[in-house]
Structure 1
Amino acid sequence: MKRLLLPLVAGSMLAGQASAFVVNDIRLDGLQRVSAGTVFNILPISIGDDINSKSIADSAKALFRTGYFQDIQLGRDGDVLVVTMVERPSISKIEIEGNKAIKSEDLLNGLKQSGLAEGEIFQQATLEAIRMELERQYVAQGRYGARIEAEVKPLPRNRVAITIKVREGKVSTIKDVNIVGAHVFKSEELADLFELKPSNWMSWYSNDDKYSREKLSGDIERLRSYYLDRGYINFNIVSTQVSITPDKEGVYITLNIDEGEKYKVNEVKLAGDLAVDKKEVEALLLVKPEQTFSRQIMTTTEDLITRRLGNEGYTFANVTGIPTPNHENNTVDITFFVDPGRRAYVRRINFSGNLKTEDEVLRREMRQMEGASANTAKIDQSKARLGRLGYFKQVDVETTPVPGSGDLVDVNYTVEEQPSGSITASLGFSQSDGLILGGSITQDNFLGSGNRVSLSANSSRTRKLYSFSFNDPYFTVDGVSRGYSLYYSKTNYSDSDITNYNVDTVGGDVTFGYPISEITSVRIGGGVENNKLRIGSAPALRVKEFTDREGSDFTNFKANIGLYQSTLNNGLLPTRGWSQSVSADVAVPGSDLTFYKLNYRGQYFQPLSRTLTLRLASRLGYGAAYGSTYDLPFFENYYGGGFGSIRGYRDNSLGPRTLQSNGQYDPIGGDVLMEGTAEVLFPLPFIKDQRQLRTSVFFDAGNVFETGCKSGKDSKGRDYSSGCTKPSLSDLRYSVGVGLTWITPMGPLTFSLARALKEEDLDETQVFQFSLGAPF
């Protein structure tokens, strides 16, 4: 309670001017935490001043405005002004109980921003305002039964402890969404536009039945856009009612709408300074006469014209489409007003967030140059190239004006690097290779240089591999890449469900890549490889036949050429764009075996909604021998089944099988591969960062074929081969399932649950498949 007292030390003070006196000294009583200097700085009275009742009142008000004091008394002791103050208590501790929907640290940060934090001055009014604000936040989440209680406990030395007790209550669920006044479209059709829906069997996953004021606002805007995109320019939301059941657990949403009449486009005009040739701008007009008016098409046209001007350096161009309705005939004239502004030039290109990657690695991907006019297409193209590197989770770009200049901008790229280690121990497991042990240095962005370096020694049940590879994507400043590798491996295919033989391989190669456009490159390379076959005591008949004819030790000189294209938005787990590659590998004349293999890989990503993405992928292969070699070496065959192929079937189990000496038929692979995948990618619930996680529902199809199947029977009347067919769509295998890939520091963790839809007698199916680490 505010009080202004001037007690008299020697009798009563006389009214009016008689109460004035000259201050010879000022005494402060009652201070604990507030310093005397602070009070003297605030107090408008100094020693030597003549004071009266007005100056005393002004002094009290000035001290109260600080918020430090809950009581102030000003008195006189002779010629000494006595200021007695009672400080407000300080907050010693704040505890929050019962909150789950909102984290305690978020609540404490909100309290701190409002002036309520440990060590601050306590004010009851502030606490009450915050309590009401917290209740409003819970109501905004649909928790209408939420209650916030605040308990203030006095402590010694003029301190208080605050306990905020939260009773969150349940989120009110939506019982019904009713749209009144809909005649052109069915209410059910319009309700499907809403993110908020009445409780249904999928609500446990989507939470779409939990009321939220923000979500309702978004739904109303979607409803408005739906009508405006279909010609109803006078559409109006007349009223919105949200009613709560008495138990505060049910919500009924009612929207009253006025659809208005449908309008068509009558005339489309351009106005303002176009800055570029008028015909170029007219070619970008998606809005045409006699077309049903659509706000979306109008705004898309604005964006196209803005981007076209941005490509000429008019970075801050403003294009506005103004519809003028003609209510007599339900038509609308649209005029696009173009204000290009001043042409902007790039002063600097800045990078942030690249803690490990050198600036040079990012800068060489730039297609927008410093000092040149700003070009929107080149700025976006540079962003896309950074994303395709695969080093970053996310890439953002912002164009900002230079203060004090009307024609200069800075282009600022912000990246978030992928977590990776330059030195790792490899530990993994896959169902085809078993336990994978080894050590490696594998880094796509070695020491932030952009170079790929790999040095590894790995061992599994089926293979031992030692390799070194290096690739410099900018061997020349023009973007020509150079890579080379050396490798040695020992493989025992009898332990990977493939026909019984072993092969030791040693080789090396060099590859150069030549960019021919922003999305296309050609790769040319060559190398030498030596293969030594060991077939054991009970080889497959086909393997024995091959070694009897060709031998078991081969040195081949290989050449390869490939065409690669990519518009993917990310080099690791993309969600938009496409990529494809066509390559040929040839064992050239002079090799012990002469053959070639033609390969195609492609994938396409198309967003279906804000959360769903369609992925289509295919893999095709064909191999054949030429010259004196009889047919494609069996150890160069294609195999199908498992990850990266047709899930739901065991790794390498599909396709032709050859008769073993023990009477079993084991996979031998084939010279033709046909595979395809269609999957829908979706986010996992309750996981905020999905950038290193991919979940999908998939449909796989494919098989391995042989163009020259071996016929005949052995001495016991057994067929020479089984499951060997020429390429045919009728012999494809199919599967459906769900899959997950998670990029971990140890490598990709991948698993799938799949069901084989077409299973022949010798097919080996596998419902659950997984792999931890990078199988080789």
Structure 2
Amino acid sequence: MKRLLLPLVAGSMLAGQASAFVVNDIRLDGLQRVSAGTVFNILPVSIGDDVDSQSIADSAKALFRTGYFQDIQLGRDGDVLVVTMVERPSISKIEIEGNKAIKSEDLLNGLKQSGLAEGEIFQQATLEAIRMELERQYVAQGRYGARIEAEVKPLPRNRVAITIKVREGKVSTINDVNIVGASVFETQDLVDLFELKASNWLSWYSSDDKYSREKLSGDIERLRSYYLNRGYINFNIVSTQVSITPDKEGVYITVNIDEGEKYTVNDVKLAGDLAVERSEVEPLLLVKPEQTFSRQLMTTTEELVTRRLGNEGYTFANVAGIPTPNHENNTVDITFFVEPGRRAYVRRINFSGNLKTEDEVLRREMRQMEGASANTAKIDQSKARLGRLGYFKQVDVETTPVPGTGDLVDVNYTVEEQPSGSITASLGFSQSDGLIIGGSVSQDNFLGSGNRVSLSANTSDTRKLYSFSFNDPYFTVDGVSRGYSLYYSETNYDDDDDVTNYNVDTMGADVTFGYPISEITSVRFGAGVENNQLKEGSDPAVEVTEFLRREGDTFNNFKANLGLYQSTLNNGLLPTRGWSQSVSADVTVPGSDLTFYKLNYRGQYFRPLTKSLTLRLATRLGYGGAYGSTSELPFFENFYGGGFGSVRGYKDNTLGPRTRQADGEYDPIGGNVIVESSVEVLFPLPFIKDQRQLRTSVFFDVGNVFDTDCSDTNTTSAQNTVRNCYKPSFTDMRYSVGVGLTWITPMGPLTFSLAKALKEEGEDESQVFQFSLGTPF
């Protein structure tokens, strides 16, 4: 009221002195922080103007609208217009007390966006509106007892200090959820659809008994979809009632529904401009006559047709399914209206977030080209290829129209990089190899070039390894890869109880090429040369001694390898969707000192079970044999089982055949057959927001190592030199269950497992807790 009366009073005062006058000067009184220039820019009166009561009133209103002043008076001193102002106080500081559920930083940011921040002009009305909004936010979290009090303390120099005191109260828990009016489906089945539930023994973990208005809205929509997907096209939420107990700590939710009648599909039609042949669209219509009406099938059909048009460049196509119900016979006709719009072309493909990785590394994975018509499938395929590189935690893509055009779009990929190796000294520990000390340069994305480089010198209790490897995934522009490696190792199993005693020094080199034959399939082939020098060890096994006597102790072998690899995984390191498999053969060619071969198969499959749970199935199969003058697969090329990447819960390398040593002990010798499988359910780790570099799971592992060259199928061979020498048999499989965790760190993967061996026989060695730091998993 004061804002309106003051200008009128000022105008009446001047009118009493004179009906009008010419302003010879303007004097401003009372300014402290607001500059005189700001006032003169706002004031509609200038020197030399004729002023009257109306212009005075307009001047006062203009100054009040700025919000800077709480009082304004205009007067006349001769030909001088005098403007006297009282500024609103400025906010010196804002303090928030008592808040825990909402961070102070978030609250201060919200206040700032509403115009309440340190240094800003204070307005009581703004503070009151914000106080009420904060209370509404707490109520939305189910804190009905929350109270917000604001205290304003005047300070010298026309300033104020604001203290916001928060009493959050307790989150109201749900005592009961009830659905009234359900007759077709069981009420409990409908209640089970809700994310919000009455308090139960798991609520401490899931917090599903904490009322939230947003969650209730989602639950109601989920209930609506349940009915609409089962033919109840007239389903209606009559009312939703949320009752609060007097102590404001308990909530009762009641949803009243009207189910209506069940409808079936009578006819399905296509209308509009299809832009492609009708025969290409009709197979995409999931809705069929005589089906029970389903909104989900109708929506999925819209998406499929939209994507089909998007593959032809109609990026902004609109497909809408319109149901027309016939209430007399409870049927519905569905017409899909297709509006393709104009064909869109890609102007630019942009990348952001790749702080290290070069643009060219990302651009060569693109299947959508600049200047070509936009193709939804190729845009998504390019996104999938970026994810499979293993360099990024997350890849997002957005297609945006180019302003001022009707047929151009930009495709923007946003990536978030993650560690893909390390360039550091390394210190690690593995239960199979002991302390690991060394220095290494190991990068899957070396200097952002996309090349894989590894240079290492590592030593452990059982092994010394020096190696260099390099792989260029785009040796040619067509995606042919080339890699080569040099390596030298000294392996000493004298003090290792998990493997039979022997020593071997190995030196070799190889080169490998990969050739893509489709988007998900590639063929790899290569050749190499290797020199092995064997020694018996301190307690030589009978089998080792016999092999050295029969074959010698120094071998030069020339190797060839061939493999087929396929992958549709959505991430190169920790995938959650898709599958991959590989089959490979390694063989020493004629002319080698030892002639043998090894066949390997690996496969894994990921499928989401729920929003937070993912199923993983994995299998590994291996077989080795000899040909020519070599009688059997050399023992140092045997497969070993147990531990990470195998059957967890059993010690590394301890499954399968064992051979007698000179001291009479039996140590693992491995076998020429390995069969392993794993079933895992991946789940998010509680209280961790970013799960993209973590994998936690419950697992069931099964597998064992066998030997087809055993002279006897019993546990001890006829010569009494080998035990546990089974031929492949399901009855001799080993099983385990447990939980596991893998964390991708800048130093490498950190892996834990806690497992229970379910079938421990003979000389099997179990191990409940297993971990590895700084070594591959």
TM-score (norm 1): 0.97
Q: How does 1:577-656 map to 2 (within 5 A)?
A: 577-656=578-657
Q: Identify the residue that residue 289 of structure 2 maps to in structure 1.
A: 289
Cα distance in 2 between the residues matched to 1:375 and 1:775 = 39
Cα distance in 1 between the residues matched to 2:234 and 2:713 = 79
The one-letter code sitting in structure 2 at the alignment partner of 1:69 is F
Task: Say whether the 8 Å CA contact 2:529–2:559 is kept in structure 1.
Answer: yes
Task: Say whether the 8 Å CA contact 1:436–1:775 is kept in structure 2.
Answer: no
Q: Identify the residue that residue 4 of structure 1 maps to in structure 2.
A: 6
The one-letter code sitting in structure 2 at the alignment partner of 1:517 is S
Q: Identify the residue that residue 388 of structure 1 maps to in structure 2.
A: 388
Per the alignment, in what secondary structure is the counterpart of residue 488 of structure 1? strand
Task: Say whether the 8 Å CA contact 2:196–2:215 is kept in structure 1.
Answer: yes
Per the alignment, in what secondary structure is the counterpart of residue 62 of structure 2? helix
Residue 351 (structure 1) aligned with residue 351 (structure 2): yes
Q: Identify the residue that residue 250 of structure 1 maps to in structure 2.
A: 250
Cα distance in 2 between the residues matched to 1:188 and 1:100 = 35
Q: Deviations over 1:187-207 (max 9, x none)?
A: 111111111111112212211
The one-letter code sitting in structure 2 at the alignment partner of 1:654 is L
Q: Identify the residue that residue 325 of structure 2 maps to in structure 1.
A: 325
Task: Say whether the 8 Å CA contact 1:144–1:248 is kept in structure 2.
Answer: yes
Q: Identify the residue that residue 128 of structure 2 maps to in structure 1.
A: 128
Q: 1:79–1:461: structure 2 CA closer, same or farther, 3 Å change rule?
A: same
Per the alignment, in what secondary structure is the counterpart of residue 6 of structure 2? coil
Aligned residues: 773
Per the alignment, in what secondary structure is the counterpart of residue 189 of structure 1? helix
Q: 1:664–1:450: structure 2 CA closer, same or farther, 3 Å change rule?
A: same
The one-letter code sitting in structure 1 at the alignment partner of 2:202 is M
Q: Deviations over 1:543-586 (max 9, x none)?
A: 11111111111111111000000000111111100000000000
Instruction: Pick which of 411-420 and 204-213 moved more.
Output: 411-420
The one-letter code sitting in structure 1 at the alignment partner of 2:152 is V
Cα distance in 2 between the residues matched to 1:268 and 1:372 = 34
Q: Identify the residue that residue 413 of structure 1 maps to in structure 2.
A: 413
Q: Identify the residue that residue 162 of structure 2 maps to in structure 1.
A: 162
Q: Deviations over 1:512-571 (max 9, x none)?
A: 001001100000001011111121242111111111111111111111000000000111
Per the alignment, in what secondary structure is the counterpart of residue 4 of structure 1? helix
TM-score (norm 2): 0.97
Q: Deviations over 1:437-476 (max 9, x none)?
A: 1111111111111111110111111111110000000111
Residue 444 (structure 1) aligned with residue 444 (structure 2): yes
Q: Identify the residue that residue 744 of structure 2 maps to in structure 1.
A: 743
Q: Deviations over 1:391-412 (max 9, x none)?
A: 1111111112222222222211
Q: Deviations over 1:11-34 (max 9, x none)?
A: x96866844333222111111100
Q: 1:598–1:426: structure 2 CA closer, same or farther, 3 Å change rule?
A: same
Cα distance in 2 between the residues matched to 1:244 and 1:75 = 58
Deviation at 1:342, TM superposition (A): 1.2
The one-letter code sitting in structure 2 at the alignment partner of 1:724 is C
Q: Identify the residue that residue 266 of structure 2 maps to in structure 1.
A: 266
Q: How does 1:486-565 map to 2 (within 5 A)?
A: 486-496=486-496, 497-565=498-566
Deviation at 1:5, TM superposition (A): 8.0
Residue 316 (structure 1) aligned with residue 309 (structure 2): no
Deviation at 1:76, TM superposition (A): 2.3
Q: Deviations over 1:300-350 (max 9, x none)?
A: 111111111111111111111111111111111111111111111222212
Per the alignment, in what secondary structure is the counterpart of residue 308 of structure 1? helix
In the TM superposition, structure 1's runs of 4+ consecutive aligned residues that sit over 4 Å from their partners are 5-8, 12-17, 710-713, 715-718
Cα distance in 2 between the residues matched to 1:539 and 1:517 = 50
Q: Deviations over 1:212-251 (max 9, x none)?
A: 1111111111111111111111111110011111111111
Q: Deviations over 1:738-757 (max 9, x none)?
A: 11111001100110111111
Cα distance in 2 between the residues matched to 1:49 and 1:284 = 75
Cα distance in 2 between the residues matched to 1:396 and 1:153 = 48
Cα distance in 2 between the residues matched to 1:374 and 1:420 = 32
Q: How does 1:83-102 map to 2 (within 5 A)?
A: 83-102=83-102
Cα distance in 2 between the residues matched to 1:672 and 1:615 = 24
Q: In percent, how many aligned pairs have the same letter? A: 86
Task: Say whether the 8 Å CA contact 2:473–2:479 is kept in structure 1.
Answer: yes
Residue 178 (structure 1) aligned with residue 178 (structure 2): yes
Per the alignment, in what secondary structure is the counterpart of residue 151 of structure 1? strand
The one-letter code sitting in structure 1 at the alignment partner of 2:488 is Y
Q: Deviations over 1:726-775 (max 9, x none)?
A: 10111111111111111001100110111111111311111111111115
Instruction: Pick which of 408-417 and 227-236 moved more.
Output: 408-417
For the aligned residue pairs, the C-alpha RMSD in angstroms reads 2.0
In structure 2, the gaps of 5 or more residues are none
Task: Say whether the 8 Å CA contact 2:27–2:80 is kept in structure 1.
Answer: yes
Per the alignment, in what secondary structure is the counterpart of residue 632 of structure 2? coil
Task: Say whether the 8 Å CA contact 1:441–1:455 is kept in structure 2.
Answer: yes
Q: Identify the residue that residue 149 of structure 1 maps to in structure 2.
A: 149
Instruction: Pick which of 57-66 and 626-635 moved more.
Output: 57-66
Task: Say whether the 8 Å CA contact 1:422–1:447 is kept in structure 2.
Answer: no
In structure 1, the gaps of 5 or more residues are none
Cα distance in 2 between the residues matched to 1:482 and 1:380 = 27
Q: Identify the residue that residue 69 of structure 1 maps to in structure 2.
A: 69
Cα distance in 2 between the residues matched to 1:5 and 1:359 = 63
Cα distance in 1 between the residues matched to 2:14 and 2:551 = 128
Cα distance in 1 between the residues matched to 2:494 and 2:147 = 68
Q: How does 1:14-53 map to 2 (within 5 A)?
A: 18-53=18-53
Q: 1:438–1:132: structure 2 CA closer, same or farther, 3 Å change rule?
A: same
Cα distance in 2 between the residues matched to 1:75 and 1:208 = 66
Cα distance in 1 between the residues matched to 2:634 and 2:382 = 44
Residue 208 (structure 1) aligned with residue 208 (structure 2): yes
The one-letter code sitting in structure 2 at the alignment partner of 1:35 is S
Residue 277 (structure 1) aligned with residue 277 (structure 2): yes
Q: Deviations over 1:100-137 (max 9, x none)?
A: 11111111110100001111111111111111111111
Deviation at 1:182, TM superposition (A): 0.9
Cα distance in 2 between the residues matched to 1:730 and 1:717 = 21
Cα distance in 2 between the residues matched to 1:388 and 1:775 = 18
Per the alignment, in what secondary structure is the counterpart of residue 129 of structure 1? helix
Q: 1:82–1:388: structure 2 CA closer, same or farther, 3 Å change rule?
A: same
Instruction: Pick which of 108-117 and 39-48 moved more.
Output: 39-48
Q: Identify the residue that residue 773 of structure 1 maps to in structure 2.
A: 774
